[in-house]
Amino acid sequence: MRLLGIPKDLLTEVLARVASTSFSDLFTAKLSCKEFLEAASENYILEHITIEKFPVIPWRISHGASSFLDRCKENGNPEALFRQGMVEFFSSKKPESGFQHLKNAAIKGHAEAKYICGIILVCHGGQSKQEGIELLSSLKNCRSRHRSVKECRNRIKVILQSMWIDKSEAGNGPEEPKNHGRTCNCSKFTNRGWIEEEEYTTCDYCVWDHEATLFCKILRARGFGIS
């Protein structure tokens, strides 16, 4: 099959959309014609391709697969940036570069990256806290297009559980957030579990302080240094 006369940038955009949902469908498209095969080599494809079939923590991975994932990261693939950021921030004692990877993924709309960046910023406090609250609130405001807060939290919990941690060298997690100091009627969140999403209509400061506090308890249970 030949696709003569179709602009290459249009073919690349089509392939990028295919790649964002299915790695195997991209492979099939590459085999279908010369034009798709050539367009598939564009860096734009690597930026958008799904890598969900690859393990988040690649304990055993071939050189070819490792090279492929590195190219995805180099080309700004949000999931690749998110994974690298998680490992560096929480396990490799590289919080600055780890957070930058997470932030870059969040800027590209990656839901879990928005969640973890928001939690870190809320815990950091000061002017960063408002930025963190806005990131987390953006998840609840766009649930129709993104994963829910609960889904983001649960996936990150699974990733943290899969990490190997040498407790003598464990990366530092964020500190539990300080009380925001505002006067409100949200004391009902004290000493209780995760807040259901239908309750997110209340004070954002209390909701996300509570979320961040419980998240820090997860980190402490995994052995991350939290003061």
SS3 172: strand
SS3 142: coil
SS3 174: coil
pTM of the model: 0.84
The Cα 4–Cα 24 span in angstroms is 24
Q: What is the pLDDT along the chain (227 residues), one digit of tens a residue?
A: 455 567 778 888 888 998 898 888 888 888 777 877 777 778 899 999 999 888 888 777 888 889 999 999 999 999 999 999 999 998 888 889 999 999 999 999 999 999 999 999 999 888 899 999 999 998 876 654 567 888 999 999 999 888 876 554 444 566 677 665 555 666 555 557 877 766 666 688 888 888 998 998 888 877 665 44
Torsion angle (degrees, nearest 10) of CA 210, 216, 222, 223: -150
CA distances for 180 relative to 118, 124, 128, angstroms: 15, 12, 13
DSSP state of 125: -
CA distance from start to end of the chain: 62
